[in-house]
Structures are given as C-alpha cells and as structure tokens.
Amino acid sequence: MRAVNYYIVIKPCKKEEINVGGLLLTEKTDKDNRYLKGEIITIGNLVEGVDIGDTIYYDKSAGHGIRWGDNEYKVITARDIVLVE
C-alpha cells in the first residue's frame, strides 16, 4: 500500500479512557476535542514536512476510512494535519 500525491495514510491511535470526578470519558464522549492522534504509515510523493512514523494530530472530520488486510486506516490530505509531535 502506498499513498499518492497529497494523500497520507495514517493509523489512528486509540485514545485512553480518562476518569474525571467519577465519570469515565471515552473517545465517543469527548466531543469537545476537535483533533485526533495518528501515526503516519505512508505519504504521497507531493507531501512535505512529515515522514513515515511521525505522530500527528488531524481534524476528526477529515478524510475517510479504509480497510487493508485486518487493519483499519484513515486516508487524509496533507492540509488536514494540524500538529506533528
């Protein structure tokens, strides 16, 4: 699998559950957080500024999901990246 042009394939990171005041906050209940975390699997030939293996934050409404083998990935464009760790 290889991304082309400005596309980036990422593996979304699972968010840890947080206990706040006795309430369990999971990924589904955290609606205030606009950005999600993921690891870059492959990048297109026109993408600059990131490398394979980088951990990034991206807009949660960006891109679309894809299944490759037994794994779920997300395909986004370079402009959807807001932060590189």
In the predicted model, what is the mean pLDDT of residues 45-63? 94
Quick check: 29 pLDDT over 60? no
* Structure token digits, residue 12: 């979304």
In the predicted model, what is the mean pLDDT of residues 18-22? 67
For 53, other C-beta atoms within 10 Å of its C-beta total 8
In the predicted model, what is the mean pLDDT of residues 59-77? 93
Domains of the chain: 7-84 (2.30.33.40)
Tell me the residue type at 8.
I
pTM for the whole structure: 0.79
Q: What percent of the chain has pLDDT over 90?
A: 68
Higher pLDDT, residue 83 or 31: 83
Helices and strands, number each (H, E), in the chain: 0, 8
